[in-house]
Structure 1
Amino acid sequence: MRLGVFTVLFSDKSFEEMLDYVASKGIEAVELGTGGFPGDAHCKVQELLEDDSKREAFLEALHKRNLTISALSCHGNPLHPQESIASKDDELFDQTVRLAQLLDVPVVNTFSGCPGDHENAKYPNWPVAPWPPEFLEILTWQWEEKIIPYWKRKAKFAKEHGVKIGLELHGGFSVHTPKNLLQLREACGPTIGANLDPSHMWWQGIDPLEAIKILGKENAIHHFHAKDTVIDQPNVNKNGLTDMTSYADMKERAWYFRTVGFGHSSKDWADMVSTLRLYGYDHVVSIEHEDGLMSIDEGFTKAIETLKPVMVKESVGDMWWA
């Protein structure tokens, strides 16, 4: 396994400045945004698709620093009921898959998206309760008419390009739990998998260790994010877990993101890394920093300090004692 970083946090740095910095910290892989919510500060997808020489220079900059690309990320909402939004995110996804193939990147990360509640809807609708019964009617319509048909097409497209899809299980989008992910994977095939982020499991009340086991049994973890979460129980009692309080108002929120090791112990992270290996994951653990209490540099550095000692770098091979 290798330690990586989602480079969106260094969007103020040039591509080569960013590479120099993360390499100096001992990072071995980068996850690059190609647009959508992550932006494209370090990976101009159209430019790299069209120009072989720029693509070669791009790869050379990585290789000379002994860095690889763990994933290209284009998180958006390709199922948005407003066509102008959906079509833009859909086109970006296709471009990102094509670029991933050319760069020999194994995974494209994104969100599943979330449709509206009927054909003429204006905004996404994320049902979170099975009653009153119209909520289940909305959910059934979304999956049968929008989610499964769309991702069947995209799974086929990605497979043709030799690329896996990592859907981040994120609240507000249709695929946000291990069960949703496996439901979609069953309908669309094994090209669909998770970009599993423990931070989003914790706030939903899901034990990330058990999520790894559930998905790992199906070989359904394509990528892994490293981000932590704090649960503020008094605010949970007041606001519930589907808390709409602004992320900026941390004192009032039921939960908020922290850098690795500041929401859960290094033992929790060691257990997750070991369980990933137990279930066959041997790709990158990609640090994501969204900590409102620490600077980017401090949060990033502390995440590395927590993760480096618990990373499993070498498989045992033959068990001489067994």
Structure 2
Amino acid sequence: MKLGFLTACLPGRPLDQIAAWAGEHGYEALEVAAWPDLGARPFTATHLDAARFGEREADETRALFDRHGLTLSSLAFYDNNLHPDPAERKAVNDHVAACIDAAALLGCPTVGTFVGRHPGRTVAENLADAEQVFASLVDRAGEQGVTIVVENCVMEGWHPDGYPGNLAYSPELWEWMFSLGLYLNYDPSHLVWMGIDPVEALRPYVDRIPHAQAKDVQLFPERRNRYGWPGKAVAREDPWDVGWWRYRVPGLGEVDWRRVVDALYEGGFDGVLSVEHEDPVWGGTDDKIHTGLQIAHRTLRPLIPA
């Protein structure tokens, strides 16, 4: 197992600077953000331009990672593959395909994305749509030796009422994804606030997890007593402000990382555990983000034998 982080937390920094910092501070891998340029949309970045990626760019990227002793664990493009607007859905699906092609050129084993959801259709209708959307993407990935991994993020901000906007949030849905040839990019933080034990949920599926993310979550049960599980309903100006929990870097929340890492090891996981930094306390400036990544490193590194 190697320890890495997702580069999307540093959207304004070029990849060469991020790689240099990672190598200097004890990280072994990077999960590289590969969104198209979406402006100021939060939690996205374009550290690799998948739509304009060829052999020259692949050679330069491999050389950069070799220079700093890093593994490129995954290309990250987490977006709504079931977007309700047909043109936007096609753009997302096409960019996943571009990421698959770029990963193949790089010898990168995985591409990460979301299933997503059309909020105006039932869950059953969405699942049927997803079976159509992902069939060609899974085939394209398989032909090039790439695995598509889906993060179990709830994406509640994508639904007008704060319900799950990414149909990959539970083991029931993981089993459905596996039947399509998709794999899991496991992140325990989302399970905790959903009321699912992240270790017991993990144990049966480690062999379907080629990549994992490390994000923590801090709960405020007294606020949940006011809002209920879906979160704020009357005064929710920010769709992502649920009101009773927030993400933290590993070590500052509720996740028992000793149990999580132990369960991964016991199940035979030998991939990359990638820190996904979305901590509002240690965010806002590059210096704070770097501190957050160092906190995560100090938490996780002792659990991962060299």
TM beyond 0.5: yes
Q: 158, 167, 173: which one pairs with 1:174?
A: 167
Residue 168 of structure 1 contacts residue 197 of structure 1 at CA under 8 Å; is this kept in 2?
yes
Residue type of the alignment partner of 1:140? A
Cα distance, 1:239 vs structure 2: 1.3
1:222 offset after TM fit, Å?
A: 2.2
Alpha-carbon separation, structure 1, partners of 2:209 and 2:254: 21
Which piece of structure 1 moves more, 195-204 or 292-301? 292-301
Partner of 2:50: 45
State the partner residue of 1:18: 18
TM-score between both structures, scaled by the size of structure 2:
0.87
Q: Given that residues 241 and 255 in structure 1 are in contact (C-alpha distance below 8 angstroms), is that contact kept between their aligned partners in structure 2?
A: no
Write out per-residue CA displacement over residues 218-255 of structure 1, whole angstroms, 9 at most, x where no aligned residue.
Answer: x21121110100111011111122224467997x8211
Residue 62 (1) aligns with residue 65 (2): yes
CA contact (8 A) 2:215 2:275 kept: yes
- CA distance in 1 between partners of 2:2 and 2:126 (Å): 37
Rg larger in 1 or in 2?
A: 1
- The 2-side partners of 1:159 and 1:29 are apart by 23
Q: Say if 2:82 and 2:126, in contact at 8 Å, map to a contact too.
A: no
In the alignment, structure 1 residue 92 sits paired with structure 2 residue 80:
no
Q: Structure 1: 5+ residue runs without aligned partners? A: 118-124, 126-137, 314-322
CA displacement 1:151-192 (0-9 Å, x = unmatched): 222222211111111101121212211210111212x13xx1
Count of residues paired in the alignment: 283
Counterpart contact for 2:31–2:74, Cα < 8 Å: yes
Alignment match, 2:244: 254
**TM-score between the two structures when normalised by the length of structure 1:** 0.83
- Give the aligned partner of residue 122 of structure 1: none
Structure 2, unmatched stretches of 5+, are 155-164, 283-287
- After superposition, the Cα gap between the structure-2 partners of 1:143 and 1:53, relative to the gap in structure 1 and judged at 3 Å, is closer
Whether the aligned pair in 2 keeps the contact of 1:246 and 1:253 (CA below 8 Å) is no
Map Cα deviations across residues 42-96 of structure 1 (whole Å, 9 max, x no partner): 21113323xx223211210110111111100111112112012111111100000
For residues 304 and 48 of structure 2, the distance between their equivalents in structure 1, rounded to whole angstroms, comes to: 27
Q: Which residue of 2 aligns with 1:242?
A: 230
| Partner Cα distance (1:246, 1:203) in 2 | 21
Give the drift of 1:109: 0.4
Q: CA RMSD in A?
A: 1.9
Question: Which letter maps to 1:57?
Answer: E
Relative to 1, partners in 2 of residues 1:283 and 1:99: Cα closer, same or farther, differing over 3 Å?
A: same
